[in-house]
């Protein structure tokens, strides 16, 4: 039976039910309100009736493409708001999510506010403790709220096509996250804390300005798909992914085809290897402030040259020159005292059975940020690394279907001994 509310001009489809001798009406399983005029102009009583009718038996509310500029207050004031589990509001004119609008939806599991004009998400969104899926693509988001770390049940985060220049490290605390999509933003790097997401299956960061990837991505055992297509400045993959060849899908189209801008050369540690007519410039992770080298700096080219000789025997005997972008005084053969202190303190914290919050708060903020997640693990002995490491650069094809499609891999070693051991394992 279809009825029209004359005040709100909304269409309702009701089904007759009977409980004992009492007859009543309730909406069908998937009730969609078909609004003829903009909701914000409706009279309070009519909208209250329509909202209460929709959630009586159905936890899903679809308000897609209604031209809304805000979530109707009358919907939030209803005592039945707590029953809503799915709220779809894409394709409207929302410029902000009001605190009262979000906070009342305590049992919400899915929130879709895509295709709006949101420049930020409210800090109160952290109160949606049961939220499992959050979609906010095609907005104007410039950053994520700090309270995002409170969404401990979040499984899917879709924030593609926004204006994000960085992701907060606190995203790494979303331990239930299975899918992360940050396509089409302005990201230059991804936080190393993403490697703490032990249930992550798909990471998509295509069409950004990525220059580096977290070194320990390959240590995420559940990871199946990585899409980093159309990142022209990204010319290497973490060496930890090389061992997953054939087990993981990686999209690399249009990667490594751009020239590094000058400000990048000044801000990052770079290793330049020149041989024959080829020059390879490798950007090290931004946390690596001191580049370690073997006694002979030219040894840094050995893994790359071995890869070239394996593919083409005519390269036998070819030598390479290695240069670093920073002054030689920043090149060291052994870890700094600061690096050794960080490794020791990190190990002690992990060995302790009682690591309280006070263990972190006594440290300076920059050191605390370093210790919460290592920059990498040594590709040979798995020692944690923070600010000093020896780069291990080689080439290989990742896709068996494209044997001529070579890509560069970067690993980090904790010592000269581990560097040569890793080199020996590649030669074998």
> Crossing angle of helices 365-372/337-351, nearest 10°?
60
Give the model's pLDDT for residue 164: 97
Cα Rg, the chain, nearest whole Å: 27
Which burial class, exposed, middle or buried, applies to 314 when counting CB atoms under 10 A from its CB (0-12, 13-18, 19+)? Answer: exposed
Q: Tokens 């500029």: give the residue.
A: 69
pLDDT in tens, 89-115: 999 999 998 766 566 788 899 999 999
Q: Taking Cα atoms as reference points, which of 376, 372, 375 lies closest to residue 355?
A: 372
DSSP 285: P
Does the pLDDT of residue 37 top 60, yes or no?
no
pTM: 0.83
Of 26, 28, 8, 29, the closest CA to residue 17 belongs to 26
Q: Is the pLDDT of residue 407 over 70?
A: yes
Average predicted confidence (pLDDT) for the chain: 81
Q: Is 369 left (phi over 0), alpha (psi -120 to 50) or beta?
A: alpha
Q: Of all residues in the chain, what percent carry a pLDDT higher than 90?
A: 47
- Residues 6+ positions from 325 with CB-CB distance below 8 Å: 265, 266, 268, 269, 270, 272
Query: Is the pLDDT score of 244 beyond 70?
Result: yes
List, for residues 248-305, the tens digit of each pLDDT value.
999 999 998 877 777 666 678 888 888 877 788 899 999 998 889 898 888 999 998 8
**How far apart (Å, rounded) are the C-alpha atoms in residues 4 and 167?**
47
Residues 6+ apart with CB under 8 A from 290: 330, 332, 336, 339, 387, 388
CA angle at 149 for the pair 145 and 155, rounded to the nearest 5°: 110
Kindly give the pairing relationship between strand 179-181 and strand 156-158. Answer: parallel
Backbone angles phi, psi at 416, to 5 degrees: -65, -35
| pLDDT tier at 155, thresholds 50, 70, 90 | very high
Q: What is the pLDDT of residues 353-381, one digit of tens each?
A: 555 555 555 778 788 888 889 999 999 99
Residues 176-194: tens digit of each pLDDT: 999 999 999 999 999 999 9
CA dist list (Å): 300 to 132, 295, 322, 390:
45, 10, 7, 8
List C-alpha distances in Å: 126 to 105, 117, 149, 197, 426.
11, 20, 7, 19, 47
Q: What is the mean pLDDT of residues 7-28?
A: 34
Handedness of CA 382, 383, 385, 390 (dihedral sign): negative
């Amino acid at each position: 039976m279809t009825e029209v509310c004359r005040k709100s001009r909304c269409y309702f489809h009701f089904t007759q039910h009977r409980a004992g001798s009492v007859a009543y009406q309730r909406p069908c399983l998937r009730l969609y309100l078909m609004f003829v005029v903009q909701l914000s102009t409706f009279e309070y009583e009519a909208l209250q009736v329509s909202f209460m009718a929709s959630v009586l038996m159905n936890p899903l509310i679809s308000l897609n493409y209604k031209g809304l500029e805000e979530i109707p207050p009358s919907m939030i004031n209803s005592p039945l708001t707590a029953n809503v589990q799915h709220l779809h509001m894409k394709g409207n004119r929302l410029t902000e999510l009001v605190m009262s609008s979000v906070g009342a939806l305590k049992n919400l599991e899915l929130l879709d506010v895509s295709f709006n004009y949101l420049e930020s998400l409210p800090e109160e969104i952290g109160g949606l403790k049961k939220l499992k899926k959050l979609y906010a693509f095609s907005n104007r988001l410039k950053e994520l709220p700090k309270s995002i770390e409170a969404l401990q049940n979040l499984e899917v985060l879709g924030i593609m096509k926004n204006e994000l220049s960085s992701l907060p490290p606190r995203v790494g605390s979303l331990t239930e996250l299975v899918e992360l999509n940050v396509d089409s933003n302005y990201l230059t790097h991804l936080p190393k804390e993403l490697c703490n997401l032990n249930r992550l299956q798909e990471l998509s960061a295509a069409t950004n300005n990525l220059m580096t990837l977290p070194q320990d991505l390959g240590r995420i055992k559940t990871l199946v798909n990585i899409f980093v297509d159309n990142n022209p400045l990204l010319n290497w993959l973490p060496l930890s992914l090389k061992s997953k060849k054939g087990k993981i899908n990686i999209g690399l189209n249009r990667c490594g085809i751009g020239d590094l801008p000058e400000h990048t050369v000044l801000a990052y540690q770079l290793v330049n290897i020149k041989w024959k007519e080829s020059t390879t410039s490798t950007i090290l992770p931004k946390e690596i402030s001191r580049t370690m080298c073997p006694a002979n700096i030219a040894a840094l080219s050995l893994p790359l040259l071995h890869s070239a000789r394996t593919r083409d025997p005519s390269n036998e005997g070819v030598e390479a020159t290695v240069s670093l972008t920073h002054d030689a005084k920043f090149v060291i053969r052994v870890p700094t005292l600061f690096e050794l202190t960080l490794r020791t303190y990190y190990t002690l914290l992990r060995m302790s059975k009682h690591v309280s919050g006070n263990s972190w708060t006594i440290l300076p903020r920059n050191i605390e940020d370093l210790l919460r997640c290592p920059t990498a693990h040594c590709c040979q002995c798995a020692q944690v690394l923070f600010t000093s490491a020896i780069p291990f650069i080689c080439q290989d094809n990742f896709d068996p279907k494209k044997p001529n499609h070579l890509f560069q891999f970067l690993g980090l070693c904790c010592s000269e001994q581990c560097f040569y051991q890793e080199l020996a394992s590649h030669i074998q």
